[in-house]
Amino acid sequence: MDEEREEEFFGKVRKALDIGDAGRAEKLLYEIEERNAEWYYLQSLVFREKMWFSESRKSIKKAIKLEPKNKEYRTALKELEQKAKENRKKERAEQKERERHAQQMGATDKADAALCQAICEGLCDGCNGC
């Protein structure tokens, strides 16, 4: 693919991501056979949109390896790592809240707690102290 056509194609992928259409962006990406730094960068954005942080990190690192001086890619990696850290923190807090709620409901071990969580999620869309 020549450089001009590639730039146009990647522009379409970026536009799809800008409007939140990760599915279309991903479909467009997989139409391109050549995998260069921009391709891996855009793939990482698709994965990030899907909240697949581990996969996103792998792709952005491939992009950086191919273009180590690209500031956009490096900035994206920093933002991704911050977002992943925040997500892990949120997940830990939610897990602690589910465990607290399970104890309040009388769970005595992990099996009881898991059962309580499953029941609560089915009844009230999450174990939020119902």
pLDDT tens by residue, 108-125: 666 666 666 666 666 555
The helix/strand/coil state of 30 is coil
Distance CA 20, CA 6 (A): 21
Hey, what amino acid is at 59? S
Residue 32 predicted with pLDDT over 60: yes
CB neighbourhood size of 130 (10 A) = 11
pTM of the model: 0.69
Report helix angle 22-29 to 3-18, nearest 10: 160
| pLDDT value for 38 | 95
State percent of the chain over pLDDT 70.
81
Hey, what amino acid is at 62? K
| pLDDT value for 130 | 47
